[in-house]
Amino acid sequence: MMKKLSRLLLTSRNQISRNITNGKDGNLSNGLLLRTFTSHAGISTSGQNINVKGGIAGFSAPYIVYKGKAAFSVTPVLPTFTKLDSGLHVVDRGGCMMLKFTPAIGERKYDWEKRQLFALSPTEVGSLISLGSNDTCELFHDPSMLSSNAGQVRKSLTVKPHSTGGGYMISLTVVNNILKTKDYISVPFTTAEFAVVKAACSYALPHIMGWDRVTEKVEKVNSGRRTPDIKFDRGQLMDSEWDK
Amino acid sequence: MMKKLSRLLLTSRNQISRNITNGKDGNLSNGLLLRTFTSHAGISTSGQNINVKGGIAGFSAPYIVYKGKAAFSVTPVLPTFTKLDSGLHVVDRGGCMMLKFTPAIGERKYDWEKRQLFALSPTEVGSLISLGSNDTCELFHDPSMLSSNAGQVRKSLTVKPHSTGGGYMISLTVVNNILKTKDYISVPFTTAEFAVVKAACSYALPHIMGWDRVTEKVEKVNSGRRTPDIKFDRGQLMDSEWDK
Amino acid sequence: MMKKLSRLLLTSRNQISRNITNGKDGNLSNGLLLRTFTSHAGISTSGQNINVKGGIAGFSAPYIVYKGKAAFSVTPVLPTFTKLDSGLHVVDRGGCMMLKFTPAIGERKYDWEKRQLFALSPTEVGSLISLGSNDTCELFHDPSMLSSNAGQVRKSLTVKPHSTGGGYMISLTVVNNILKTKDYISVPFTTAEFAVVKAACSYALPHIMGWDRVTEKVEKVNSGRRTPDIKFDRGQLMDSEWDK
Amino acid sequence: MMKKLSRLLLTSRNQISRNITNGKDGNLSNGLLLRTFTSHAGISTSGQNINVKGGIAGFSAPYIVYKGKAAFSVTPVLPTFTKLDSGLHVVDRGGCMMLKFTPAIGERKYDWEKRQLFALSPTEVGSLISLGSNDTCELFHDPSMLSSNAGQVRKSLTVKPHSTGGGYMISLTVVNNILKTKDYISVPFTTAEFAVVKAACSYALPHIMGWDRVTEKVEKVNSGRRTPDIKFDRGQLMDSEWDK
């Protein structure tokens, strides 16, 4: 069903594309309508490998930048927690910012089958948001690091300011020694688009670290009444500097 | 009813205006009282084209700057979501920051019928919040972009630092070839007012992108008990970089 | 009862003061214990003019800086809203950051009866948070602006960097022509203390503007089940730029 | 039980360590898997002195940096509140950012028994987040300040930029005159890691100050229905500048 939706949206996308002949790629003139449609296209992307198990709760709203040669999207992925016997929840799988790079296969057409992923850890988000205006940063991943295929696939992400000033180029290189492939996908960002990526990553950082959960108030529910309550437990839990 | 309220508030506004003869426009001496009243006036603005359908839930609190020749207001507009069969919510209509420019028609009187709107997309908000102290930014919209009237109405928003330093001029030009009109509304901002606009837009950005929904915790409700629960589904939903 | 608490705390405060002979004023060595106690003292301040009506819900946690000649506290005051017949909530009384200045009357004793208030509007908060490291800002208030006493009381707040660098002096002058009094209270801030004030004001700004309410999700409650729901109403409410 | 979990994790940690021979310490190549495992190790740390009383609600998600000679973790600790007879909640025990320093006792092995704590007050967090790129800051604590052991234990935390640029060294010195010990633990931070610490502390600051509670909306619960309501009480509670 999601796949069907994906096709449907790609179709309507193309129809829309034909109409916006007065909007150049990368400028800001397309406004709300283009954004709305790109959100749908973004959904179709992630829809292709959803493993539906009974039903999905949640919201999808990736920030997507469409450019001539490729599209880029970024969305936060929250950590998951495990509840210990003590009642304390600890991080099970860490959160990340999921970047997706999708090569173009024609005017405003993108080949979702060839998209490449790069998941930024909190520290890697720190690299991104602390990037000075003339700084370059490069991050390396080995997706099969702990398996027998370690070293077979190498991904590198480069964020580099345009030499002409104003904006950045974000590039992903994926070398796969098993499939004997090398992919290179590159997306130019305007200053404004990069500012959104930085601001959105800054906003998301505490969430992918799980600190939104750590700082939230505990609420008790008694017999239908829901009253905010104060975390006396939390204070007792933490080992005080003074207790040592 | 809203229209009546609008008139009422404009009347009381004028009564108040007569009293604040010792407060000059653009300075900060008016404090809380003026702000409270401007909030009401702001409501009257949006009240004029409310399409009431059964009842409106929600809160209105635009940030308004009143100046001699025009008033400016800004308020976030959240995206709307559609629930797919899978249970996932996807963006239906994108969010924006709605700017309103209203020309003055007398001392502290504004002509709400002539107000002009400009909706900033997330990327355009990125332009605004990344603006250097000597930078100018210009944004163009065609409200009827995808209709047969494409190109007939052109809006351009300019944000420009004062040549004397300290503050910005924000101007909106609307050329309407159908009505043969050209409107130009310009509002001077002090450094403090512009700082509020930037800070408020930075705060609102993740919300108009829908990321507040993406990062929120999922809560289960069972038989009257409301217990926070952890997003295992979310983790399963997202395609991992490592799964590829 | 609050008054009694106030006395109690001032007493225990002095007892504590005698013990911290190795902690100099303005340095950071006192850590958690001093902070905890100052929070109580802060409560006693506001306790003196509480007008109890049936019971108060809510939390009090002012940020307080105690110095040799005076104490300073800051706390956000949220706006209040009125519900219109349409169901929309509009700002009734604007929010502010409430600053309190209390002169010392002895070593670590403060005269709460002589405290002076200064309520920062959102735009005035903009002045504070956009202050450059060498900038000075001055704000003027007339508390009885719209009454027959207009002009009789003049308050001015000055924020000025230390000439030696590193930190600011925040001073409040209150000239009361009715009581024939002139008060001047001045509090030196370290860079760290001023950073907390700026960061805390930046955090609070959207809240005192009411934007936390504007951006919050609407939740429906049906027959005991509480399910997050999406704001379709909000989208319909807002007048679109494109509809114009 | 927590202790057992701690051992278990240290074991699996070592197994994992042997596998990641191609990942150097301090670089960013380890991605999600390492982060996930460090979160567990972090739990084991705090698990060793948990004083379980009936059950702990809450979430643990410290940000941990593992380096050759020591590990560093930081997590927010929320303030606790006491409810007065009036219904107002006041700060009982102030919040802080809890820093933990743990010396290494072998390759990727850390001696949790020798960990040292340092609790940053809000003002000390202000020191950290306002630190210029060439600035050094030093903070002193006396954990037994108000007891008969005052002056016997001295802790000092130093944050110092690397002389080669890019990143900081965070060091903790603990001199204990009772035990006749002196500990020095030092952890190098990359620019990215320090950016995460700063961003995470900035996010957490209003929470450890209790301002998330001060700015939250009050919600009423009537007979199973949960409707957001507006804080009229709050407005009446706060003494207005104008009322004075």
Tens-digit pLDDT profile for residues D177-208: 999 999 999 999 999 999 999 999 999 999 99
Backbone φ and ψ of B56, nearest 5°: -115, 125
Q: Tell whether C221 lies on the interface with A, counting CB pairs under 8 A.
A: no
Query: Degrees (nearest 5) of the Cα angle A188, A189, A191?
Result: 145
Question: Is A6 domain-assigned?
Answer: no
Question: Is B30 domain-assigned?
Answer: no
Strand-pair partners of C171: C158, C186
Question: Is D27 domain-assigned?
Answer: no
ipTM entry:
0.73
Tens-digit pLDDT profile for residues A11-63: 232 223 222 222 233 332 222 223 222 323 222 223 222 323 334 568 999 99
Per-residue pLDDT of chain D (244 residues; tens, 9 = 90+): 333 333 223 323 322 322 222 223 333 222 222 222 232 322 222 322 232 333 456 899 999 999 999 999 999 999 999 999 999 999 999 999 999 999 999 988 999 999 999 999 999 999 999 998 889 999 999 987 778 888 899 999 999 999 987 899 999 999 999 999 999 999 999 999 999 999 999 999 999 999 999 999 764 333 333 333 333 333 333 345 654 4
**HSE (side-chain half, CA atoms, 13 Å) at A201:** 27
Question: Is B131 domain-assigned?
Answer: yes
Q: Which of A120-134, A152-166, C74-88, C221-235 has the lowest mean pLDDT?
A: C221-235
Q: pTM of the predicted model, to two decimals?
A: 0.77
Checking phi first, is residue A21 left (phi over 0); if not, alpha (psi -120 to 50) or beta?
Answer: alpha
A210/D59 Cβ within 8 A: yes
Question: Is A20 domain-assigned?
Answer: no
Which pLDDT score, from 0 to 100, does residue D235 have?
Answer: 32
Q: Please tell me the total count of domains within chain A.
A: 1
Tens-digit pLDDT profile for residues B109-167: 999 999 999 999 999 999 999 998 889 999 999 988 778 888 899 999 999 999 987 89
Question: Is D163 domain-assigned?
Answer: yes
pLDDT band at C37 (very low <50, low <70, confident <90, very high): very low
* Chain C partners within 8 Å of B191 (Cβ): 126-127, 130
Long-range contacts of A151-158 (CB under 8 A, 24+ apart): A151/A177, A151/D22, A152/A176, A152/A177, A152/A178, A153/A177, A153/A178, A155/A116, A155/A118, A155/B241, A157/A99, A157/A118
Question: Is A35 domain-assigned?
Answer: no
Backbone φ and ψ of C31, nearest 5°: 60, -145
Residue A76 has pLDDT above 80, yes or no: yes
d(CA B138, CA C27): 48
How high is the mean pLDDT of chain C?
73
What distances in angstroms separate CA B182 from CA B146, B154, B174, C170, C210, one per listed residue? 22, 10, 6, 48, 35
3-state secondary structure of B37: helix
Whose tokens are 């009125």? That residue is: C82
Which pLDDT score, from 0 to 100, does residue B30 have?
Answer: 29
**C-beta separation of D186 from D69 below 8 A:** yes
DSSP C162: -
The alpha-carbon gap from C50 to the nearest alpha carbon of chain D, in Å, equals 6
Nearest residue on chain C to A225, judged by CA atoms? C224
Which pLDDT score, from 0 to 100, does residue A231 have?
Answer: 33
Total residues found in chain A within this entry: 244
Q: Tell whether C43 lies on the interface with B, counting CB pairs under 8 A.
A: no
Highest mean pLDDT among A104-113, B64-73, D29-38: B64-73
C226/B35 Cβ within 8 A: no
* Chain A partners within 8 Å of B210 (Cβ): 59, 61
d(CA D214, CA D207): 10
Strand order of the β-sheet with C168-176 is: C137-141, C153-161, C168-176, C181-189
Of residues D34 and C69, more confidently modeled: C69
pLDDT band at A180 (very low <50, low <70, confident <90, very high): very high
The alpha-carbon gap from C188 to the nearest alpha carbon of chain D, in Å, equals 14
Q: Which CATH number belongs to the domain containing residue B169 in this structure? A: 2.30.31.10
The alpha-carbon gap from B68 to the nearest alpha carbon of chain A, in Å, equals 30
* Chain A partners within 8 Å of C31 (Cβ): 241
Which pLDDT score, from 0 to 100, does residue A181 have?
Answer: 95
**C-beta separation of C42 from B24 below 8 A:** no
The alpha-carbon gap from B137 to the nearest alpha carbon of chain C, in Å, equals 20
- What range defines the domain where residue C163 resides? 63-222
Q: Tell whether B243 lies on the interface with D, counting CB pairs under 8 A.
A: no
Question: Is C122 domain-assigned?
Answer: yes
Backbone φ and ψ of B136, nearest 5°: -115, 145
